Chains A and B, each alone.
Chain A
Amino acid sequence: MLDLIAQQVLNGLSLGMGYVLVALGLTLVFGVLHIVNFAHGVFYMLGGLITLLCVTKLGLPLTLALVLATVCVGAIAYLIDIIGVRPVAHGPKGHDTVMLSTFAIGLFIFEVTLVSWGTAPQRVAGYSGLLTFFDLTLTVHRATVLVVGAVLLAAIWFTLNKTKFGKQMRALAENPFAARVVGVPVERVGSATFIIAGALAGIAGALLVPISLFTPLIGQNVILKAFVIVVMGGMGSVVGAMVCGLALGVLEAVGSIYIPAGFNLALIYSTLLIVLLIRPKGLFGGRL
């Protein structure tokens, strides 16, 4: 039984890293800009779509497709920032309006993709191969998700804590008015944060589409769990998203040994409820 538990912990870590990658951008935008980006699921979907197009239509290698998907979704996030975030964010009830504008833009992109691409699920071949060690197995692609996820987490941590830009982000998160007074280029840092969050969702979609298949609905499917992780970890907390994403993945995988898979969502939401009852601001609330 121990070998099965160990295998499921490994499965859970790879599953959880996928959750972390999706939740990371969402929590970053909330933590720094104090807005909820409802187009985040669409960024994820676009990451998957661009990867699919690059690999199956253009015949590009997956690694190049991952890079292109990340860059393209970052660029799309920049456009959405210009069109749907900046013009409304500083108006009356700006944060509420951003929720609506990102929701509308997300819906528009989703519908356009659905109409132009169709509903048929499409497969993208991931990195092939199976790693085996001490009777534990992990596909090479899932191992890649784990490694890339860990590298991205380290990069985000380093950026936030060790760079000038990170300090500016934290200043903006703390108090936008005070940040502006001390010379932080608030608009530029805000846009950069939005682009980074979009790129993170893009690379998440690109990395996970070989696992989940591509349909225009993939963004909607993952975003719900991403919100659960962000709320559980504390809205705006990068550490919270990381810990809760990985923990949720492991909980789901190990839980599958003892609890019927049909209760999977019930397990997730009851965990969220317990966390919110004990710590209403989430496990790591208040810290970026």
Chain B
Amino acid sequence: MKRQATHLKLVAAALLGLAGTAAPASAQTQEAVKIGYPASSKILLGSQMVRGANIAAAMINEKGGILGGRKVELIHYDTAVNPSEGVAAIQRLLNQDRVNVLAGEVTSTVALAQVPVIKSAGALFLIGLPKHPDLTKAENKNVLRVNSTVTMDMAAFKPIFQERFGDKKVALITENNEAWQEGAKIMRSEYFKPGQLVFDEAYEIQQNDFTSLVTNARRSRAEVLCILGTTPEHYANIIRMAGEIGYRPQICLTPGILYPGAVEIAGEAAEGAVSADIYVPNIQNDLNKAFVAAFQKAHGDKPDKAAMIGFETVWVLAKAMDQAKSTDDPTKIAETIRSNTWATPRGDIRFEQNGQASGKYYVITVKDGKIEQWN
């Protein structure tokens, strides 16, 4: 775990410089508004999310900051996909950095360990990528989330799955964590007809060779391979290794996990893969265009969903603090978030009373090695 605030400040400053615009003098003299940003940034999704968060901070600061000219500063600690590291990062942010407004995190396993600590401190946590439904509950007033939950994903994906794959035999491969096991449970009980699910297996994120797993899946003669998992390093490798041994089922990826990097890794075997997501980079609104342009300028590529989630966490938090005219009253800021509509790159979003953001889904597929919207 390592403090990277200085590094983030440099990135934000560089982005400002690239934009060729100087922040107003008031933004340079007043104390910065600090947002704690714990995230497992040594994996692809986490690093993309932190990149998106930095873009949001840079864009806000470029336009003069919040609360009459105060800059937004992120304090990021890596949580190493590890619950104990995740809790240590939260404690450091709360006790050492004196920050009580936090956002970020990548996996549900880590976030589930962090939430009780945040709740007992009375701080605010706008969760980024974790999908476990239990993270946002009505009684956790100060815990909110921008990403969709596994439950939302599964409900949205069911008609897509049934239209695309019908009664075909399915092999289900699930990452062994709380959120995805919950998703697999929903699929088993709601998606399949009797006898349709012919292979049902889990994998660990420590694994990197999946040949034995896909050999067993091939043996089941499943025509559709459905994968529930967070990291492209793993699920894309499963698809690739299936292809390498000559097993070419149709690929179904649960919503929110199909990334361009994964298509590159999986290669031809990912062709025709079907999924859904709450964000695609070509959404037509001014904020998304500005976000995509700033991201491309800084990193040379279009943002993916994880980057948009990172952007959204910081953007919504900063705007809410501005509107609530407070940086240190978590309850007031949380209430402001819940009672307003927020314009973000994916359009307008609202938060339910349990702190969960709403979201529209886009059906996506892999065609000629690119992710496209499926009409």
Task: Find out whether the CB atom of B245 lies under 8 angstroms from the CB atom of A253.
Answer: no
Please give, as numbers and ranges, the residues of chain A lying within 8 Å of B159 by CB-CB distance: none
Interface residues of B in 215-268 (CB under 8 A from A): 215-216, 219, 232-233, 236-237, 240, 244-246, 261, 264-265, 267
List of B residues within 8 angstroms of A119 by Cβ:
41-44, 46-47
Complex Cα gap A8–B233 (Å): 23
- Kindly report which residue of chain B lies nearest to residue A218, judged by CB atoms: B208
Binary per-residue interface labels of chain B (202-214) against chain A in the complex, 1 for a CB within 8 Å, 0 otherwise: 1110111101110
Chain A neighbourhood of B233, CB < 8 A: 121, 213, 215
Answer yes or no: A261 CB below 8 A from chain B CBs: yes
Would A120 and B44 be within 8 Å (CB), given that A211-B209, A218-B208 are in contact?
Answer: yes
Interface SS majority for chain B: helix
Residues of A within 8 A of B46 (CB): 119
Rounded to whole angstroms, the CA-CA distance of A256 and B267 in the bound complex is 26
User: How many Å from the CB of B43 to the closest CB on chain A?
Assistant: 6
- A143 at interface, CB cutoff 8 A: no
Task: Tell me, yes or no, whether A92 is within 8 Å of chain B by CB.
Answer: no
Taken together as a complex, chains A and B put the C-alpha atoms of A3 and B209 apart, in Å, by 20
Out of B204, B207, B216, B265, which one reaches A257, CB within 8 Å?
B216
With A4-B216, A119-B43, A121-B233 in contact, is A15–B211 under 8 Å at CB? Answer: yes
Does any Cβ of A come within 8 Å of B368's Cβ?
no
Chain A, range 207-261, C-beta contacts under 8 Å to B: 211-213, 215-218, 221-222, 224, 252-253, 256-257, 260-261
A149 interfacial by beta-carbon distance below 8 Å: no
**A261/B211 contact (C-beta < 8 A), A137-B246, A256-B216 known:** no
Given contacts A130-B246, A262-B203, contact A123 B265 (CB under 8 A): yes
Contact B245 A12 (CB under 8 A): no
Asked if B209 and A15 sit within 8 Å, CB to CB, the answer is yes
Report the interface size for chain B: residues with CB under 8 A from the other chain.
Answer: 33
Interface contact B213-A213, CB-CB below 8 Å: no
**B201 interface residue per 8 A CB criterion:** yes
B41 touches A260 (CB 8 A): no
> Can you list, as one digit per residue, whether each of A1-14 has a CB less than 8 Å from chain B (1) or not (0)?
00010011001101
Say yes or no: is B26 at the interface (Cβ < 8 Å to chain A): no
A213, B208: Cβ atoms under 8 Å? yes
Q: A119-B46, A130-B244 are in contact. Are A8 and B215 (CB under 8 A)?
A: yes
Specify which chain A residues have a CB less than 8 angstroms from the CB of B264 in the assembled complex: 123
Residue among A121, A213, A257, A262 with most chain B CB within 10 A: A121
Would you call B326 an interface residue if the criterion is a C-beta within 8 Å of the partner chain's C-beta atoms? no
Q: Which of A142, A211, A222, A262 contacts B176 (CB 8 A)?
A: A262
Q: How far is the CB of A97 from chain B (nearest CB, A)?
A: 25
Q: Is the CB of A130 within 8 A of B245?
A: yes
Contact in complex: B47, A213 (CB < 8 Å): no
Considering the complex, which residues of chain B in the window 84-131 have a beta carbon less than 8 Å from any beta carbon of chain A? none
Q: Which residue of B lies closest to A225 (CB)?
A: B206
With CB as the reference atom, state the residue of chain A lying closest to B176: A262
Chain B residues near A218 (CB, 8 Å)? Answer: 208
> Does the CB pair A18–B209 fall under 8 Å?
yes
Instruction: State the CA gap A139–B246 with chains docked (Å).
Output: 10
Docked CA distance A157–B42 (Å): 39
Q: Which of B171-226 contact A (CB under 8 A)?
A: 176, 201-204, 206-209, 211-213, 215-216, 219
**Contact at B204–A261, with CB atoms within 8 Å?**
yes
Inter-subunit contact A221/B208 (CB<8 Å): yes
Q: How far is the CA of A211 from the CA of B245 in the complex (A)?
A: 12
CB-CB under 8 A from B209, the residues of chain A are 15, 18, 211-212
The yes or no answer to A114 lying at the interface (CB within 8 A) is: yes
Q: Which residues of the partner chain A approach B267 to less than 8 Å between Cβ atoms?
A: 123
Query: For the complex, is A264 an interface residue (Cβ under 8 Å from B)?
Result: yes
Tell me if A155 is interfacial: C-beta within 8 Å of chain B.
no
In the complex, the answer to whether A4 meets B219 with C-beta atoms within 8 Å is yes
29 A/B residue pairs, CB under 8 Å, sorted by A: A4-B216, A8-B215, A11-B215, A14-B211, A15-B209, A15-B211, A114-B42, A119-B47, A120-B44, A121-B233, A121-B261, A123-B265, A130-B244, A130-B245, A130-B246, A139-B245, A213-B233, A215-B43, A215-B44, A221-B208, A252-B212, A253-B212, A256-B212, A256-B213, A260-B201, A261-B204, A262-B176, A262-B203, A264-B207
Shortest 5 CB-CB contacts between residues of A and residues of B: A212-B208, A262-B202, A256-B212, A253-B212, A119-B47
- For the complex with contacts A123-B267, A130-B246, 8 further pairs of A-B residues with Cβ separation under 8 Å are A7-B215, A11-B215, A15-B209, A121-B261, A215-B233, A216-B42, A256-B216, A261-B207
User: B residues near A, CB below 8 A?
Assistant: 41-44, 46-47, 176, 201-204, 206-209, 211-213, 215-216, 219, 232-233, 236-237, 240, 244-246, 261, 264-265, 267
